[in-house]
Chain A
Amino acid sequence: MSDLTFPLADIHAVRTTNRAQLAIGAFLAILRRDLKVTGREFVPFLLQALMNPLFFLFIFGKVLPGMGLASGNYAELMLPGIVALTGMIAAMQGVTLPLVLDLGYAREIDDRLLSPLPVWWVALEKVIFGAMRGAVASSVIFPLGYLILGNGFAVRGDRIGTLIGMVILTGFVGSVIGLLMGTIIKPEHISLMFTLIFTPLLFTGCTYYPWGALQNIRWFQVLTLFNPLTYASEGLRYSMVPPVRGHDFPTLGLAWILLALCTSVLILFWVGRKTFYKRVVT
């Protein structure tokens, strides 16, 4: 212990008093920590994220159309929904599950909370990290879809910018929902809540059908508008479904989609930030 002074003096010499610089450095290091932990579990992460879409694409994009039970272009309409759903769930799980652990009895998050950054940045980091996970999971659907659907795989290439934006926004929607869930739900209720929240989210989110096709069930069509996943699915449909004879596939308006997604992210993060703060500061 005698010459412990060597690195201590070293550290003191480079220590900055600039609060912003300290906070940004801590933020990036915490993000790096999450990337490291996920990187170690990358294959399980991919398996978890892709198992469901894999079978879904196969049955609904290949088997049913082959039997004549779904129309030929159903795969085109469904693929964007699968991209949205996969990204959203991967982002949500990427935030909720670690958060429940972190905030649990052992309080593993303490070391990060004691880092020199504002407490809510720790929540922000979780959200950004979750969105990254979601975007990665969404992206992997493309090669997977190509492999499974073969000739049935069709994505328009002229809205690639919007597509990237939609994938990212979808990740953010998933991760802010994940933040809210992770800070509200008690650990013992986690699997119950996943069922209670997932199932309705899944089936009212316009993932397996385009919004416009619901016009005959008006009340349900209105109901789906309260689910952020609807906008993600429609936004991806807007940027992916190829035009037929020069006509774009009809979706919700792009402006409405963007507005709805951005407001959802902001409002849910604003609430999630508060519930997070309540959990970590007494």
Chain B
Amino acid sequence: MLAETGVAAPPAIAVRNLIKRYPKSKTNAVDGVSFEVSRGEIFGLLGPNGAGKTTTIGVLTTAIVPTEGSAAIMEADVSRDPIGIKQRIAVVPQQSNLDRSLKVREILTFHAAYHGVPRKTREALADKLLEELGLGQRKNEKVNRYSGGMAQRLMIARALMHAPDVLFLDEPTNNLDPQSRLFLWERIRALNSNGLTILLTTHDMDEADRLCDRIAIMDHGKILVNDTPAQLKKMIPGGTSLEVRAFAPPSENGAASAKVKAALEATPGVAKVDELRDEASQNAEPGALTYRVYSESANTLIGSAAQAVFGAGAQVRDLSVKQPSLEEVFIFLTGRHLR
């Protein structure tokens, strides 16, 4: 939910020209990123492995020192006021970092104690959250007997124990089964409607689409676009697209590829043609070619596109119509599939 007040409230998260280069690394893991998240918003960082999502969260949560640029949460600067930041944020990391020396309930009560939550409140809140997240029966165990999904839920409970203003979720549904995933989506929405600002990362397009008010698509440390899911989908020229998989004998591959592309571009009704070069198509047999054909109505192009491929001396392997989705946006922006 976007803030609907007339006066622009200061943003919950403000990142400006953020650069992070890890020691001994030749490239920037985060390479000049700027974005703002309003209070009460669910903001998604979407990108493939190694895009720099976790690094961005690390800087915002004071675990990583930025090389350049600045980041602030609720107007507190990450470098100048780390204590103020830590009071206001909560982090659910990508991998479990639960304290294995403590029992489940103690993990929650100690977390709250670290944040100065009074004893009575923290005891009551721990029991309540454990109940709500379905862990009430097993609160006196140690976490090494928990499954991955239970640990994930416990980390979410822990994050809520000190009533943060901003919640960071790093790939929150990665290890969850479909049912737990739906359950978690519901929780995230409920928390958000209670006023919590949420920044989550994911490489699940569907998740980003369903949950986020705004999405920034990241690749190689840069933000390619940052908009609402609806606006992002409008970026695809013509709206729909056709995926064309073809084959030309490997020897004449380079030439054939350009020829097929030209033939597709010349087909009436085609707005734009991209050749995809992602790992999936590279790892395929030599001679395999993949194109993305953008158009107002891709489904009417099936016949003419097939003819164009034949005409260019290649064989058609597969044709499929793609409806506008975030996945399509990512492919349009990077020329690659997300995974």
Contacts and interface: CB of A to CB of B under 8 A. Distances in A.
Contact of A15 (B97, B116, B128): B116
B91 A114 contact: yes
Contact of B160 (A4, A23, A110): A4
Interface stretch (B57-65, B228-236, B271-279): B57-65
Given A8-B194, A282-B64, A111 B116 contact: no
B163 A7 contact: yes
Contacts of B110: 29, 32-33
Contacts of B81: 19
A22 interface: yes
Contacts of A2: 190
Instruction: Classify chain A's interface size.
Output: 35 or more
Interface string B65-88: 100000000000000011110110
A8 B165 CA distance: 10
A173 to B, nearest CB: 25
Contact of A118 (B83, B113, B117): B83
Interface stretch (B31-39, B98-106, B203-211, B243-251): B98-106
Nearest to B188: A1
Interface string A100-111: 000000111011
Nearest to A3: B128
A25 B187 CA distance: 30
B97 A22 contact: no
Contact of A111 (B64, B65, B97): B97
Contacts of A111: 97-99, 107, 111, 114, 158
A281 interface: yes
A281 B63 contact: yes
A8 B159 CA distance: 12
Instruction: Classify chain B's interface size.
Output: 35 or more
A36 B194 contact: no
A278 B191 CA distance: 35
B114 A108 contact: no
Given A19-B81, A29-B116, A111-B158, 16 more contacts: A1-B191, A1-B194, A4-B191, A14-B117, A15-B87, A26-B114, A33-B102, A106-B95, A107-B95, A108-B97, A110-B97, A114-B62, A116-B87, A116-B115, A116-B116, A281-B62
30 contacts: A4-B128, A4-B132, A4-B190, A4-B191, A11-B117, A11-B121, A11-B162, A12-B163, A15-B116, A16-B116, A19-B84, A22-B115, A26-B116, A36-B102, A106-B97, A106-B100, A108-B98, A108-B101, A111-B99, A113-B63, A114-B62, A114-B91, A116-B83, A116-B115, A118-B82, A119-B82, A281-B64, A282-B23, A282-B58, A282-B64
Interface of A: 1-2, 4-5, 7-8, 10-12, 14-17, 19, 21-23, 25-26, 29-30, 32-33, 36-37, 98, 106-108, 110-119, 280-282
Interface of B: 22-23, 58, 61-65, 81-84, 86-87, 89, 91, 93, 95-102, 106-107, 110-111, 113-118, 121, 124-125, 128, 132, 158, 160, 162-163, 186-187, 190-191, 194
3 nearest A-B pairs in the assembled complex, by CB-CB distance:
A115-B114, A29-B113, A11-B163
